[in-house]
Amino acid sequence: MSKVTNGQNVSVHYVGTLEDGTEFDSSRQRGETLDFEVGSGQMIEGFDNAVVGMTIGETKIFTLTPDKAYGECDPEAVKEVSMANFDPSFKPIVGHTVMGQNEMGQRLMAKIEAVTDDSVTLDFNHPLAGKNLSFEVELVNVS
């Protein structure tokens, strides 16, 4: 049976958990595989690398440190934004996530960290930045 190499398209089922066992994502819950080209940069580095060498039907469990996943939290990604940038009907709640776009039209997502009468402090770091992530991956198909 051949092993997965860079450039191949694969289908996997996976379950992702945090260090405390909390599940943050699961293809099994959605009932559909995750399909991607290995080594193309579509996936986080550690996930991509872990699939290399697997064979169909094989299951692998691995843990990624932030440098192989979503990186460390960047303090520069936490910004104070004037309340004037939001719709007047906007009611910010600490801990909630907001969606928007920058001047170039790119979609942005941020977590509300703090609120004052005049501003909202937004954390633009990926929600999984700074975290060790564990995955259980089953290789379903290779093409």
**How does pLDDT run across 19-53, given as a tens digit for each residue?**
999 999 999 999 999 999 999 999 999 999 999 99
Instruction: State pTM to two decimals.
Output: 0.83
From first CA to last CA, the distance across the chain in angstroms is 13
135 and 83 belong to one structural domain: no
Residue 1 maps to a domain: no
The CATH number of the domain where 101 resides is what?
Answer: 2.40.10.330
14 and 66 belong to one structural domain: yes
30 and 58 belong to one structural domain: yes
Smallest CA-to-CA distance from 27 within 141, 104, 143, 106 is with 141
Residue 86, judged by CB atoms within 10 A of its CB (0-12, 13-18, 19+), counts as middle
Number of H helices and number of E strands within the chain?
Answer: 2, 9
43 and 85 belong to one structural domain: no
pLDDT in tens, 59-98: 999 999 999 999 999 999 999 999 998 889 999 999 999 9
CB 25 within 8 Å of CB 134? no
62 and 132 belong to one structural domain: yes
16 and 36 belong to one structural domain: yes
Query: What's the number of domains the chain is made of?
Result: 2
